[in-house]
Amino acid sequence: MLAIHTTYDPLVPPAIPNQYALLTREAGAGDLFVQQYVKHGGHCQITAEETQKGFQELKRWKDSHQAPHPGWLH
């Protein structure tokens, strides 16, 4: 799973996506979760271009078996 989150989301605090990472690690599947961020304020303020980049990252992950880098969406 690739989660993309804005740097400021008044509806979903950072603790929520951070919890996903913790839960997947506890389940022994931490290698199947990557969290990335985009620098925007607001809920779901991820551009179409950024969404497309995220899907490209997922496809590369599927095809190459190499997870995307966590942190900023490139």
Helix (H, G, I), strand (E, B) or coil at 7: strand
pLDDT at position 14 over 80? no
- Whole-angstrom Cα distance, residue 63 to residue 48? 22
Range of the domain at 68: 2-72
| Count of domains forming the chain | 1
- pLDDT > 80? residue 24: yes
- For residue 18, pLDDT over 90 is answered with no
Q: What are the tens digits of pLDDT across the range 29-49?
A: 999 999 999 999 999 899 999
pLDDT over 80 (residue 74) = no
Rounded-to-integer distance, Cα 50 and Cα 12, Å: 19
DSSP class of residue 55 equals H
Enumerate residues 6+ apart whose C-beta is below 8 A from 45.
6, 38
Q: What is the pLDDT of residue 16?
A: 87
**Predicted pLDDT at 52:** 97
